[in-house]
Each structure stands twice: as structure tokens, then as C-alpha cells.
Structure 1
Amino acid sequence: MSQTRKKNSSEGETKSQISPVNRFLQGCKAERGEENNDLGSDGSHPNHGALSTATQDAAKPPSSEEELESRMEESEQFLQKLDRKADSKRLDLDSCRVTRVDIREMVTLLPFLPDLEELDVSWNDSIGGNLHLITQQVHLVHKLKTLRLGSCRLTTEDVQALGEVLAMTPELEELNLSWNNNVGGNLPLIFQKLQNGTKVQTLELVDCALTSEDGAFVGQLLPVLQSLEVLDLSMNRQVGCSLNRIALGLKCTSNLKVLKLQSCGLSPKSIKILDAAFRYLGELRKLDLSCNKKLGGGFEGSSGQLALLKHLRGLDLHQCSLTAGDVAALTQLIPLLSSLQEVDLSANRNVGGASENLLARLRFLPALRSLLISGCALEGPALAALADASIHLPALEIFNLSWNKCVGGSVQLLLEMLRLSAGLQVLRLSSCSLVTKDMAILVSVMQTGHLARLQTLDLSYNDSICDEGWAVFCRNMQFLKELTELDISLRPTNFRDCGPWVRHLLCAVTKLPEITEISMERWILPASQRAALGSCDQGHTRRVHFDHSGFQ
């Protein structure tokens, strides 16, 4: 995808000689030890010389075309060993289980990657304690824009080394240090040398064991990050203790587009604190406050500054213990956010009885693509209000009503929505107490082609559907031409014999060109039918995976 720049010709070089250089810049992604193997064996053989000497030798340009081609081959071998492809602008070693030797081989590569823009070594435990090997050479990669070090078991020494290198990467735009516990308590060591004018746009510090002092430092750091667009502090429970300082810093980040504070120990008071910052975040596109279980009641006394986020497209409040008062406040606020495309209110059980007015006002969100309200204990009137509003949501693509028992026997209410949502791709009705009548209604919509774009259908944990219901559904599955995933599993405590309808299921699979995953856990089949499932494929080019744990 990326295009390589042509390397300047050396004096007296012909066009035929330039070709391998171009191939080197395009294909060289990981060089393995070069012609001299000093660096690759330095750790175990001290007599091979210091790291700095080896890397200096490695950084020398190739002296001949033969040497260059040799390096190209070694680079390809290194990447093949790690099951990666060459790219002159991107070095992706995410989850490669790299060893210390691999790291040293990669270090010898960096001087020969002048166009490298992205370096990702996330989810490699061996990076921890060895990051200095990389940082010593990063200054040679002048165009580096993205550095991802997620879940690398960074040590305090690594954090210190990282702080030094950030001052030498002026083009850096994205930094991901997530899932490194030693970042917590050491945040100033990383960022204290950053200067005004830094180009960092994305900063991800998920689950880094940040302390309240780290949170306060973030508040001081934000005014320096004038270009910041994405800030993710999720899963740092002490962040809530320093939210006042962070909110002060947020007032200086007018370009911020994504703010994620999932599971950060936020309280009702936190909403009032954030309210004061919202007026300065006019460009915000996504706000994630989910999994803050003590947040309930926060919206009741807010000043409503959330309504100023006119460009907000995603609002995630799932598992926030929202109260009836919160729902009343959101009923006034959400209709004013006409740009909303994604709303998640799931796992807020107190929403159920108070949500009728809120759900009715979703009709004022014409751009809504994703609506997740699973596990909200909805009641009949709320479902009816949702059904009325949903016919005004032509852009809806993802709809999750799972774990709302009131849906059972009432799918008729959703009939118009299912007919009008021509672009619906994901429909989840897990544990909704569906009955056979509901399946007949769903099938009637399928037969008319209104669910033709559906890709994921979750009907699991609806054990009250009888064999007749499953049979009528399976006989009509072929109308779901784009279906890729289907889940019809039973509840964990329930095992049940499959009826004759399983034959219709197998027949339907042969007519669905995209299906790859069918989960039907705890359905009991005789050995002959299990064998049929195991051998089911489509023209010998695509196998369908049946998740049938519980058959035996």
C-alpha cells in the first residue's frame, strides 16, 4: 500500500544498478544480522564488542550490489521467520513472540529504513528490559510517526529510555503504551521532555496502573499536546481522583476528537467536572464513559453542556448504573446530538422502566447506525416506543436488544423497523424469551428480502423456541445471502436433542455463500449428524465452522 521513494543514485551508477536499491527499500523490513553478525551474538559473546560498535558497523551503507542483494535476502528471511511481509514504511511485529536475538536483528535493520513511519512491537514480552536496544537506534528513523509498545512488560528502565527517545522523534503522531503496569507512577519520566509544538495526535495509556499523581500530570501535559485528537485513559481506576486536573487540561485540547475514560473510577461528581470541559471540546466525535459503575446519578444535576458537542458521533454509557434521573436528563440531551451514529446504553437495568420517553426521542437521530440497549430490563411500553422511533432510523446497521425479556412474543412490534432497516447488518436477540410466533414473524421479513444485508444474527439462549420454530427458520435461511455468523446456542444449563430441522440447517448452509461460523452449543446430535456438520463445506473452497461443544 505504501509507496517507496527512489533512492538517489550514487556517482556513476546506472539504471540497472538502481533497480536493486529500489527493491531493497521496498522489501527491506527486517534485516537479520547483516554480513557481520556482531550485534546478533553480542549478548552471549562479550568478545564480539559493544552494542554501539556493532550498530555503527551495521549502519554503514552496503559497499556493493552483491552485498545489498544479500541484505535483501536476509531481510526477507527474517520477516518470513516471523510470518510478516516487507513494507518500507511499516514494521509490524505485533504478537510475534520475538526473542532478544530477534530484537537485536531488528535493531540492525533500523538504519536501513529511512522511510519507516510505523513501528509496532506490541504484545511481545521480551521487549521488556530490552527497549533500550531499540531506542538507541530510533533517532536514525527521522520519519517515525507511530510507535506502539502495548503489553511489552516495560520496566522502569525502559520507561526512562523511552523518555529520552521521544525528544528525538519530532514527527511522532501516535504513541501506544497500553497494558504496561510500570508506566504507572513513572509517567513524568516519559513525557517531561516533550516541548510545545509536538505533533502527537494519539495517546493511548489503557490499563497502565496510572496513579492519581499520574492523572494530575496528564492535566499538565495536555496543554503541550496541542495536536492531540485521541486520548484513551481507560482502565486506570485512580484517574477519577485527579479528574479536576485532567478537565483543566482538556480545555486546552480543542482538536480532541476521541475521549475514552472507561472504567476510570468516575463518580456522579465526575460528570459535573467534565461538563465544564465539554464547551471547549467542540470537535469531539466519540465519548466513552462506560463501565464506571458509580457514575449513576451524575447526569441528574449536570448543566447539560454535553449538548454542545454538536459533532459527537459515539456515546458509550454501558454499565454505568444509570438512574431514572439520568435517563430523564439524557432524554433532553440526546435529541440535541443530531450527529450521533453510535449509542450504547447496555447493562443499565434501571433504564428499563424509565426509558420510554428516551427511546421515543431516538427518532431525532437520523444518522444513527448502532443502537445497543441489551440488558436494560425494558418493559412493554418502552419496547413499543422504541419500535415507533426505529422506523425513523434508516441508517441503522447494528441493533442489539439482547437480554430484554419483553421482546419475547412481541417481535411483531419490530416488524416495521425490520422492514425499513434495509442496511441492517447485525441483529442480536439473545436471551429475549423468543417463542415460535416470533420466529414466524422474523421469517416473513426474511422472505421479502428486507434482511438481505444481515451478516450477524444472534438468537442464542432462546430455549422457549420449539422445534417447529427452528424448522421454519432453517428452511428460510437461504434468504440471508450475506450472513456470515449465526448463533443458536442453548443456555449453559440446558441440553436438548436436535429435531429434524437440523437437516434444513445443513441444506441452507450450502446455499449461503458467506457463512463461516455457526454456534449451536449444547444441542445434542447423533454421531451421523455430527459427522455431517464436521464435513460441511462450500465447494471445497470455504469451510463452515460449527461450534458444537456440548454435543458429546
Structure 2
Amino acid sequence: MNSPLTMSQTKKKHSPEDETQPQISFIKKFFRGSKPRAAKAESPRESKGTENNTGQPSRGAPETSAADPAKPKPLSSETEGESRAEKNEQFLQKLVAFLPFLPDLEELDISWNDFVSGSLYLIAPKMHVVSKLKILRLGSCRLTADDVGALGEALKVIPELEVLNLSWNRKVGGNLPLILQSFQEGSKIQTLDLVDCALTSDDGAFMGQLLPMLQNLEILDLSLNRNICGSLNSIAQGLESTSNLKVLKLHSCGLSQGSIKILDAFRHLCNLRKLDLSCNKDLGGGFADAPAHMATLKHLQVLSLRQCSLTADDVTWLTQVIPLLSNLEELDLSANRKMGSSSENLLSRLRFLPTLKSLLLNNCALEKETFTALAEACIHLPGLEVFDLSWNKCVGGNLRLLLETLELSPSLRVLRLSSCSLVTEDVTLLASLIQTGHLARLQKVDLSYNDSIHDAGWTVFCQSVQFLTELTELDISLRPSNFRDCGQWFGPLLCAMAKLPEVAEIGMQRWVLSALQKEELECFSQEEKRIIRFDHGGFQ
């Protein structure tokens, strides 16, 4: 499948190349979405660490006055709006004219394009000419109520559709039955993305009734629809009939302790690979009485319970379940601070996850005993690639406990130890491991907000950085409230950067460069002729 924001025609029949290619190129050029819009109140995005686009689509320059081109005058908002609407309509009419020349079109992605808003009715009646369409993405197009109605009619003539993405269109909420009315028994739909669509409880109930008809469904994402929490029982019943489901995302859906009954459906989801229940803060305490149906998820590879307010009882339940998920590759328990003092047994059982590649435990309020249990278990995780212990103060002064783990993790690519109260001894140990080649594949290292490290420690560490030949990002920023002068380590850091071909960003916020150091940095940038972003900004 092609990457997002592309449009492809994978088959060509009955159309000579010299006739169809210019038209296909035209559509590819003009229907490639601009950079996604920045997050707004109506379309909240996840914070740092998630996989979401936050750019702003480019806007066309305002037209100049026809009466006096030498003195351009800005159009009024009303006139500019009318002009844009007129251009949008003209543009879509051109697309409609091209559709008959693309009978074998299989993928159409016009996400993140505002011009679709209010104009989908122009395309919908012509969708029958691309009846072989398998992938349709209309994410963040600001669909209106009229667009939603037109889309429902259009889907009736696309029987081969396998992927439908309507995420970030809030007018979908309350109208889901109208849109998906064509999905009947035997539907070929495999992926259904409805992120942040303002779905209502009625929409959720309809989804529960629809799911049994979608026997080919493999990916279902209902994230950021908090109002469906009242119909989760209906959704759970529907999930019992979707045995082919591989990915289920219910991130930030308002799940509560009572909603945990949705786990009853898991005994039927024997093919599930990814389960995301993250950012449901009211879920904490609900796992205590939950059945152990997750034990049937033999193929589960990704489990995210980040920011779910897990309690000690929840941790006890999870301790029983984790050893049964032998194929787990990614585990995210971040931002569950109540589990810190009660997770010793849970963390010790991570040794039963031999294929684990990503372990995220940042901001879990781990204590010395739980950290020790974690360190002993991680020795048995040789395939670990991503390890995040940020915001766990107990790591400071105790990094030596992870010595054997770091020595036996040749695949480690990402190491995050931000705000861990690290001391000079910790970074000296890390530098020693780097120099001996144990961490040769590290690509991203985050040591930010560890203000207790002395300049001597930073110097030793920066001298070792040159051995991280695959490094792309390094962050040694100070806390927002702290400013310090760069020490003697800045020179060795620049020397290391000259030897690292992949590095792109060095975070060193609130480190104050002297005039000489600024000159050294400028000379380095000119001589290396590479774009390395040295982020040393901040406010004093």
C-alpha cells in the first residue's frame, strides 16, 4: 500500500500511456494534501511521542486588485472566501472531468485539503466510474453535513472498497449510519479509521450492529471519540463477531471502570495484533475484576495502557496476564504513577516476553525496589530496541543496575533517560559502555533535564559520543528554570559531530554559549556543510 498523502493507479488497461499519463500526473500533483493543519480545539492531537501530523497547509497568496496591479490590495474576507469557493468548485469540476479516464484507479487520497469542504457533491455522482477503488482517504477535509450525505451515496457504487479513512471530520458524528449504510454482509472493508469524528452514543450503537457484517475488518480506530463510551457494550457485542480483527484502537474514548466489560469480547479476537486503550484516565481500578480473556490474545504484539490511572489491583491483574503474551513486542505503561510502588512483581515478569522490542515506562514513579526488579528482568530482553525510563527519579545514582542489560542489548536504538536525576557517575558509566562498543546502534539519546551532572561528566560523555556512529538525535537540554554556561565539553561535542554522518539534531536548550563557542559553532556549520540543528534557545 502506498504511503499517506499519495494517489496511485496500480493498473492500466484500455488507455495508451501517452494519453493517460499526463492526466494521472496532474491529479497526483494537485491532489496531494498540503502539510496537515495544526492542532485545533476541534481536532486535538496527541502530545510528544505519538505518530500525528501537526503542520499547517499552505495558503495561496491573496489576489491583487485588477484596477491597480501596482498597488495590491487585500480582499475582504467575504470576497476572498467567495473567490476561494469559486476556485475550489472549478478545481473539483476538473477532477470530475478526469475521473472517466481512470477506470482502474484503486487509491484516492485527498486528505488535509480544505477545498473538499462543501464540494463533495460534485465528485460523489461520478464515483461509479472508479468503481474499482479500494482505498479512499478523506481525513481532515472539514466535511459538511451535505458532504456526508453525498459520501453515503457514493459508497454505494464502490463495492471493492477495502480502506476508508474519515478521521478528523467532526460532522461525521451523528451521521455514521447515513455514511456506512452501504456496508452490508460480505463487505470487503478491511480498515475503518474514524478518529476524532465526534461520534455519538447512537453512532456507537450503530457500529455495534454493523460490526458483525464486516467479516473482513482488520483495523478499527475509534480513538478520540469520548461520547461513544455509553455504547461500548454494543460495540463489545459487535466485536465478538469480528474474529479477523488485528488492530483495535480506543485511545481517549472515555472508558471507565464499568467499560472494562469490553474485555469480554477479547476471547473472540484471537488474531488481534495491536490493542490501544491509552489515555482513558477513568479506566483505573476496572481491571481488578476483569476476566483474564487477554490470555487468549496469543498473537498480540502491541499493548498500550499509557495514562490509564492503573492501580495496585490493576497491576496485580496485569501481572497474571503479561507472561501469557509471549509474542508481545511493544509495551507502553507510561504515565501510570500509581503503579510505581506496586509493580515489582509485574516488572520482574517481563522476562517472559522474549520478543519485546519497545518498553515505555516513563513517568511511572518507580522506586528503588521496582527499578531493581526491572533491571534484573531486562537482562532477558536481548532484542530491546526502545527503552524509555524518563521521569523516574530512582534511576539517578542507580544506572549501574542496568549495566548488564545495556551490555546485552546490541539492538538498542532509542534510550530516553530524561529527568531521571542522573549524576556524574551515571553518565560516566554510560560513556564507558559507549566507548567499548556495547551501544553502537543507538540512534536517539535523551539525557535532558538532568541538571545534577557536573561539567566533568558531560566532558567524558561528549568525548564518547563519536563512537555512536548511527546517532541521529541527542538531547542534553537543561530544565526550563535553569541556565548554565557551556563547559569544556562543547569542543569535544563539536568534534564528535564532525565524525557522525547521520546526526541531525542536538538539543541543548538553556546552555549558554560564550562568544568564542558561538564562533566555533558557526565555523563548524560552514566547514561541515551539513544541516545539524543545534537547539540552544531559551529565555533568561
The one-letter code of the counterpart of 1:187 is: L
How many Å separate the matches in 2 of 1:376 and 1:155? 42
What is the aligned partner in structure 1 of residue 245 from structure 2?
256
CA distance in 1, matches of 2:205, 2:124: 27
Q: Contact 2:172/2:199 (CA < 8 Å) preserved in 1? A: yes
2:33–2:110 CA contact under 8 A, matched in 1: no
| Aligned partners of 1:96 and 1:124 also within 8 Å | no
Corresponding residue of 2:356 = 368
TM-score using structure 2 length = 0.86
Q: Give distance in 2, aligned partners of 1:356 and 1:515.
A: 37
Matching residue within 120, 124, 128 for 1:135: 124
Give the AA of the match of 2:272: L
**Alpha-carbon displacement from aligned partner over 1:110-164 (angstroms, at most 9, x marks no partner):** 2222232111111122211011122222221122111111111111110000100
Report the AA paired with residue 228 of structure 1. Answer: L
Equivalent residue in structure 1 for 2:333, among 331, 345, 357? 345
Q: Secondary structure at the match of 2:341?
A: helix
Percent identity, aligned pairs only?
A: 63
Matched, 1:158 2:153: no
Structural RMSD (CA):
2.2
Relative to structure 1, is the Cα distance of residues 134 and 96 closer, same or farther in structure 2, using a 3 angstrom cutoff?
Answer: farther
User: Where in structure 2 are the equivalents of 1:171-320 lying within 5 Å?
Assistant: 171-271=160-260, 273-320=261-308
2:478 — aligned with what?
490
Instruction: Name the amino acid aligned to 2:494.
Output: L
Q: CA deviation at 1:97?
A: 5.9
- Kept in 2: contact 1:513–1:538 (CA 8 A): no
AA of the residue aligned to 2:97: T
Contact (CA 8 Å) 1:536, 1:544: kept in 2 or not? no
Deviations 1:161-206 (CA, angstroms, capped at 9, x unpaired): 0100111111111111111111111111101222211111010111
Distance 2:247 2:23 in 1: 35
One-letter identity of the residue aligned with 2:253: C
The SS at the match of 1:170 is coil
- Per the alignment, do residues 81 and 369 of structure 1 end up closer, same or farther by CA in structure 2, a change over 3 Å counting? closer
**What is the letter of the counterpart of residue 29 of structure 1?**
I
Q: In 2 relative to 1, CA 362–24 (structure 1 residues): closer, same or farther, beyond 3 Å?
A: farther
The residue number in structure 2 matching 1:63 is: none
Counterpart-to-counterpart distance in 2, 1:398 and 1:438 = 19
Structure 2: 5+ residue runs without aligned partners?
3-7, 36-55, 61-86
Q: In the alignment, which of 310, 314, 323 is matched to residue 322 of structure 1? A: 310
Contact 2:33 2:112 in 1 (8 A): no
Please state if 1:144 is matched with 2:133: yes
User: d(CA) in 2 for partners of 1:81 and 1:283?
Assistant: 34
Aligned residue for 1:165, secondary structure, equals helix
Say if 1:27 and 1:76, in contact at 8 Å, map to a contact too: no
- Residues 193-229 of structure 1: CA deviation (Å, up to 9, x unaligned): 2221111101011111111111111101111111100
The AA in structure 1 aligned to 2:236 is A
Distance 1:375 1:6 in 2: 53
Say yes or no: does 1:386 pair with 2:374.
yes
| Aligned 8 A contact 1:534 1:546 in 2 | no
Counterpart for residue 48 of structure 2: none
Say if 1:370 and 1:188 are closer, same or farther in 2 by CA, change over 3 A: same
2:420 maps to amino acid? C
| Distance across 2 between alignment mates of 1:350 and 1:79 | 48
1:427 aligns with 2:415: yes
Instruction: Tell whether the 8 Å contact from 2:328 to 2:356 is kept in structure 1 after alignment.
Output: yes
5 Å matches for 1:439-450?
A: 439-450=427-438
Of residues 447, 454, 457, the one that matches 2:445 is 457
Secondary structure at 2:288 match in 1: coil
Match of 1:22 in 2: 17
Query: Residue 361 and residue 181 in structure 1: after superposition, are their counterparts in 2 closer, same or farther (change >3 A)?
Result: same
1:43-192 matches, within 5 Å, as 100=88, 101-192=90-181
User: Residue 548 in 1 paired to residue 517 in 2?
Assistant: no
- Once the two structures are superposed, residues 284-319 of structure 1 have per-residue CA deviations (whole angstroms, 9 ceiling, x without a partner) of 001100000000011110111111111000110000
SS where residue 150 of structure 2 aligns?
helix
**8 Å contact kept, 2:159–2:187:** yes
> How big is the shift at 1:80?
10
Q: CA offset at residue 103 of structure 1?
A: 3.0
Report the Cα distance in structure 1 between the residues aligned to 2:18 and 2:413, rounded to whole angstroms.
42
Q: What residue identity is the alignment partner of 2:288?
A: E
Q: Indicate the structure (1 or 2) with the bigger Cα radius of gyration.
A: 1
* Distance of 1:81 and 1:327 partners within structure 2: 43
Matches within 5 A, 1:467-506: 467-506=455-494
Deviation, 1:78, is: 5.2
SS in 2 for 1:119: strand
CA distance 1:295–1:6, change in 2 (3 Å): closer
Distance 1:235 1:286 in 2: 17
Which amino acid in 1 is paired with 2:506? I
1:229-254 alpha-carbon deviations (Å, 9 max, x no partner) = 00111111111110000001001101
Q: 1:5 to 1:293 in 2, by over 3 A?
A: closer
Select the residue among 321, 331, 334 that pairs with 2:322. 334
Aligned residue in 1 for 2:74: none
Q: Secondary structure at the match of 1:139?
A: helix
Does residue 1:377 correspond to 2:372, yes or no?
Answer: no
Give the TM-score, by structure 1 length.
Answer: 0.84
Structure 1: 5+ residue stretches without partners: 10-20, 32-74, 84-93
Could you list the per-position Cα deviations for residues 67-112 of structure 1 after superposition, in whole angstroms to 9, with x for gaps in the alignment?
xxxxxxxx687579989xxxxxxxxxx9576961433333332222
- Whether the 8 Å contact between 1:97 and 1:125 is mirrored in structure 2 is no
Q: Tell me the equivalent position of 1:512.
A: 500
Deviations 1:359-382 (A, max 9, x none): 000000000010000000000111
Q: Cα gap change, 1:128/1:256 in structure 2, threshold over 3 Å: closer, same or farther? A: same
**Partner of 2:310: helix, strand, or coil?**
coil
Q: How far does residue 450 in structure 1 lie from its aligned partner after superposition? A: 1.1
SS of residue in 2 equivalent to 1:158: helix
User: Distance in 2 between the 1:298 and 1:481 partners?
Assistant: 46
* Structure-2 separation of matches of 1:413 and 1:500: 29
Could you report, residue by residue, the CA deviation over 1:385-409 in whole angstroms, capped at 9, with x for unpaired residues?
1111101001110000000000000
Using a 3 Å threshold, how does the CA distance of structure 1 residues 268 and 392 change in structure 2: closer, same or farther?
same
Structure 2 residue identity aligned to 1:226: Q
Tell me the secondary structure at the aligned position of residue 542 of structure 1.
Answer: coil
**2:245–2:269 CA contact under 8 A, matched in 1:** yes
Helix, strand or coil for the counterpart of 1:393? coil
